[in-house]
Amino acid sequence: MTLRLFWKLVRLLMKERMEYRGDFFLAIAAQIISYTGDYIIIWLFIQKFNHIAGWTWPEIALLYSISLFTYALGAAFSFVQMRDLEGQVNNGTLDALLVKPVNPYLYLICRGFNLGYIAHLVVSGSVLIWALTALDLEWSAMQIIYLVLTIISGALIQTGILTTIGATSFIWVRSGFLFNLFFKIKDFISYPLPVFGTFIQILLTFVIPFAFINYYPASFLLSRDTMLLSDEVMWLVPLMGPLCCLAGYRFWMYGVNRYQGAGG
Amino acid sequence: MKAYIMFGVKSFTKQMSYRSEVWLRLLGNFAVIFIQAEIWKAVIGSGQVDGVSAQQMITYSIINTLMLALLLHRMSSQVDGSLKSGAIASELTKPLSYPLFLLSSGLGSSGYQLVFTVIPSLLIAWFAFGLIPPASGLHFAGFLAAIGLALSISFLLGYLISLIAFWVMNHFALDWMLGGFITIFSGTFLPLWFFPEAWQSAAGWLPFQFLGYVPAAVYLGTLSVTETMVLLVKGVAWSAILLVIVHKLWKKAVRRLVIQGG
């Protein structure tokens, strides 16, 4: 699966989507409305209470936008693909994927590359840029590089976790409820983690690495102290993404090798 | 009537096959309530904001989170499935009312949710976070009435979306939009009394407040008796308006229906 092949695939997918142009744009408009709603409710909240645990609106907007932006990047490569695995395992259609002479994981995530996440990226990208300007930070080249690296890493963490959940469908056949749980747990990182106390911070740092998606990068950019990680390790944070993705991939391959076919 | 009860029972038992996942649902609900409870504790602390304490807000969150599991507005994917597979043709030829069929199967799964996730989650949340009892017996009666309104308005909104999908053929997009409006205007997370004035009056004109804010506010007794009565009457009026709209639209939709597969 080379990069050239992937771009060709993206062009084809774009053509496919443009066949139903009205439908595509309707879906995008709907997602923009939906995510704007999520922002508005947090904004209304902060209008009333001024801050959450000392984080003001632009800071929360930055935190939330990094979470949504990295989710969109990661999920474009993994969410629908992984969510639908359950059905493919059930119907036996997964077997068609396994006989192709390419790495099944790479084929699956690239073939399913989802252009629909463009709406998430537009909404969260614009708020992200607005928040960065509103915060009046002093930008050095290092900080810009750091932000870019942590966004890539965040996307990889999201992909890694979604991949891990998807892989459970090889073992348990059903995985839908784990995805629901994923979204509920992910809601923790819409807010600054100190709100939730020590246990949650330990959980989201060492067990499910959600905190590395946005809380640590945002804290370091905003020069805020965190309870568990000190400033010195800030450059280690972007390593979490590749690590997480690799772990997810390994688990997925382990699962697919165990897969014996469930239906037919 | 007996047929509809059977559809409800069928949908209840269909959900039973997922009962091993009840634990994950309970965990999910716990996480949602926990997040909101911690946030309210963080911003309100031990005092009060606008006469509302953190403990009251936690009860508000528990009611809203659990009610979300009971609402009936998510049937559009079911209707869409029947539309695209063509199964709707056989469903329409049956000697029963299609909307009532949808309602009874929706109520069946809500009944399942009530028994297997809402009540256990309620008990867990009660132990973990504490639950304020209803303001009075009268308020509790009003709360039950408000839940009835929430069920009927959520059903009608979901059904409206499903019908619009007969034309737009993208129930998914319509669902997202509805979700966006519910997020903001239902008060599920942030109650309307904390809204800025302009937003508050906008939310007051829309039907979404009945899906979250109204039942919880009535339960807590934060509204006066007259306000409560006015709101409940408004809710009945909204149900009636939506009922008329979906009734008209349903007639048009059936005439428009083109069976695409089957």
The structural domains of chain B, with segments of one domain joined by +, span: 2-256
Chain A residues touching residue B181 (CB < 8 angstroms): 33, 37
Distance from CA of B231 to the nearest CA of A (A): 22
Q: Which of B42, B168, B190 sits opposite A52 (nearest CB)?
A: B42
pLDDT of A97: 85
The complex scores an ipTM of: 0.90
Interface of A with B (CB under 8 A): 23, 26-27, 29-31, 33-38, 40-41, 44-45, 47-49, 52-53, 174, 177-178, 180-181, 184-185, 187-188, 191, 195-197
Question: Which residue(s) pair with A78 in the sheet?
Answer: none
Chain A residues touching residue B194 (CB < 8 angstroms): 44-45, 48
Residues B24, A174: C-beta atoms closer than 8 Å: no
pLDDT tens digits, A119-153: 999 999 999 999 999 998 878 888 899 999 999 99
Domain assignments of chain A as residue spans, ordered by start: 3-258
Q: Which of B39, B177, B199 sits opposite A33 (nearest CB)?
A: B177
Q: What is the 3-state secondary structure (H, E, C) of chain B?
A: CHHHHHHHHHHHHHHHCCHHHHHHHHHHHHHHHHHHHHHHHHHHCCCEECCEEHHHHHHHHHHHHHHHCCCCCCCHHHHHHHHHHCHHHHHHHCCCCHHHHHHHHHHHHHHHHHHHHHHHHHHHHHHHHCCCCCCCHHHHHHHHHHHHHHHHHHHHHHHHHHHHHHHHCCHHHHHHHHHHHHHHHCCCCCCHHHCCHHHHHHHHHCHHHHHCHHHHHHHHCCCCHHHHHHHHHHHHHHHHHHHHHHHHHHHHHHHHCCCCCC
Q: How far apart (Å, rounded) are the C-alpha atoms in residues B173 and A31?
A: 7
**How many degrees, rounded to 5, is the angle at CA B77 between CA B75 and CA B82?**
100
B41/B80: higher pLDDT? B41
Averaged pLDDT for residues B140-154: 95
pLDDT of A19: 82
For residue B98, the one-letter residue type is Y
pLDDT of B86: 79
pLDDT of A261: 66
Distance from CA of A204 to the nearest CA of B (A): 13
Q: Which of A49, A187, A195 sits opposite B32 (nearest CB)?
A: A187
The residue among A23, A42, A49, A203 with the most chain B CBs within 10 A of its CB, best to mutate, is: A49
Averaged pLDDT for residues B205-232: 93
| pLDDT > 70 in chain B, percent | 98
Q: Count the neighbouring beta carbons within 10 Å of the beta carbon of residue B88.
A: 21
Residues B176, A33: C-beta atoms closer than 8 Å: yes
Positions in chain A whose pLDDT score sits under 50: 264
pLDDT above 70: residue B155: yes
Cβ contacts below 8 Å, chain A against chain B, sum to: 99
Residues B190, A29: C-beta atoms closer than 8 Å: no
Residues B195, A44: C-beta atoms closer than 8 Å: yes
Q: Which of A31, A40, A184 sits opposite B184 (nearest CB)?
A: A40
pLDDT above 50: residue B262: no
